[in-house]
A and B are shown apart, each in its own frame.
Chain A
Amino acid sequence: MFALKQLYRGSSNLFKANKNTTQLFSLLAKYQQPMMIMNQNRWFSAFVNHRDTEDNREDTPFEFTPENYEQINEIIAKYPSNYKHSAVIPLLFVAQKQNANFLTLSAMNKIAKILDMAPMQVYEVASFYTMFNRTKVGKYHLQVCGTTPCMLRGARDVMQAIREYAHINNDEISEDGLFTISEVECLGACVNAPMMQVNNEWFYEDLTPENTIALLEKWKKGEEPNVGPQINRNCSEGPLGRTSLFKPEEIEGVHERDFVEVKKQYDEAKAKAAAAAAAAKK
């Protein structure tokens, strides 16, 4: 893949070097531009299909841990027994999380066996979603949001800073095996833009090139930086601070409803109404 990129980069230099291009050639160069953006994407045609590598082939051993088997049983129990294969996406996530964010072929085969599906059907699902990494990623998979709000607030600078710091391009692993950067679509934290998600789990918000590099350095040292906004801000409060919901009890009261109790009350009321109706009929 890298060699291919070099090739395209080389061809673009060739166009830039010619200053005397006529109108025709400048037109061609204009059309060349979207091609180059496309090739920064990992998902181009040759890489949709599986290629055997040392760490990813059919006989690579894969087995779920006992804890994950419990989790899998819980997930499968949510679906009717004849629609077991509905559980394929959660299971793929479990497998990916267990295997350092890397979904191997053997893991997909294992899931096919568990869910009584044909392996091909699992491959189809896994290759459809970009969240499943079918090639190896670094220990920290930095998914930087590139959608409009984040982009306007400087996501491109953040990305460029990461690239320069780790000496990688998009979707490549750094030499120390720690970082992979990829651009993703909106992750729903636009109030604190720009932001990035790490390993499908942790949000780091309010990024600037400086504090992003500080984060990377911490990871490099083996520390765990704080999740959330990286500037002096609590959650997503505005510049005036908190303006409503001052008492924490009020919030807790809303969230800690006892649904079992509510259900019981509802059933009782229903039974009462039914009894009343029966009495009225008589």
Chain B
Amino acid sequence: MRSWGQSVGLLGPKFWAIYRKEGFTRALLRGKIYKPTHEKGGYEDELVRLVGTDEFGNRYYEDFNHHNKNTRRWIEYADYNKWFMTPKKIAPGWHGWLHYTYDDPPKKDNFVEPAYRPHRTVVFKTDHPNAYKNPGHLLNDNRAEYLERTKARKYTPWEPPTGSEPKDGKKIVVQKKDPLGQVVEELD
């Protein structure tokens, strides 16, 4: 997938390359102005075919240039924009077409729904406020607790007697527990 709008930054190297070829205005337009990919994706900027759309609203394009023996297929996500850059879903049949598994785009007469359970329409929580954050994540609410735990992983200090324990001769008698939390009997 060629995405001119992304790669041609203003006054970047790509910008100057286009500027030298096509002039300032054209370069500015290429870089800034939104254009559907079928207008700018083709060989030497000829229009390419919009093959179809799926139930999620994604648009699928194909550029078949028989001179170059070159077939390019790409997708324009419906939910892709400047703010949300992780597109969610793609229909299984179209996925096969996009990855050159099937020659023809899926239609009712040539594609059969798979026998297994269809894909769940999972809502990815990547950009959601409730998304999973690993324990050391800066935005994790339990980060403080995690830091304490990592400290304990290094070492935990000896818990000295508090003064209320009984004494046997010189020794302070403390009910000792082993690392699994079981009370152990006294030595000797």
Which residues on A are within 8 Å of B, measured CB to CB? 14-15, 18, 20-22, 24-25
Contact = CB atoms under 8 A, between A and B. Distances in A.
A196 B112 CA distance: 47
A25 B115 CA distance: 9
10 contacts: A14-B115, A15-B115, A18-B115, A20-B112, A22-B110, A22-B112, A24-B101, A25-B112, A25-B114, A25-B115
Nearest to B110: A22
Taking chain B's interface residues, is the majority helix, strand, or loop, or is none over half, making it mixed?
loop
A14 B117 CA distance: 12
A41 B32 CA distance: 67
Nearest to A17: B115
A18 B111 CA distance: 13
B145 to A, nearest CB: 41
Contacts of B112: 18, 20-22, 25
Contacts of A24: 101
A123 B137 CA distance: 52
Contacts of A22: 110-112
Interface string B60-76: 00000000000000000
A18 to B, nearest CB: 6
Given A18-B112, A21-B112, A24-B101, 10 more contacts: A14-B115, A15-B115, A18-B115, A20-B112, A22-B110, A22-B111, A22-B112, A25-B112, A25-B114, A25-B115
Contacts of A18: 112, 115
A246 B118 CA distance: 76
Contacts of A20: 112
Contacts of B114: 25
Nearest to B114: A25
Contacts of B101: 24
Contacts of B115: 14-15, 18, 25
A15 B112 CA distance: 13
Interface in B74-114: 101, 110-112, 114
Contacts of A14: 115
A20 B112 CA distance: 7
A24 B111 CA distance: 11
A21 B112 CA distance: 7
A75 to B, nearest CB: 50
A188 to B, nearest CB: 46
A14 B116 CA distance: 9
A140 B115 CA distance: 42
Q: Nearest 6 CB-CB pairs, A to B? A: A20-B112, A18-B115, A14-B115, A22-B112, A21-B112, A15-B115
A220 to B, nearest CB: 43
A10 to B, nearest CB: 12
Nearest to A22: B112
Nearest to A29: B115
B92 to A, nearest CB: 12
Interface in B109-139: 110-112, 114-115
A18 B114 CA distance: 10
A15 B116 CA distance: 10
A190 B93 CA distance: 54
A22 B96 CA distance: 13
Q: In the complex, which of the residues B110, B111, B114 has the most CB atoms of chain A within 10 Å of its own CB atom? A: B114
Nearest to A18: B115
A51 B2 CA distance: 60
Contacts of A15: 115
Nearest to B101: A24
A24 B115 CA distance: 12
A1 B91 CA distance: 37
A30 to B, nearest CB: 15
A178 to B, nearest CB: 40
Chain A CB count within 10 A is highest, among B101, B114, B115, for: B115
Contacts of B110: 22
Nearest to A24: B101
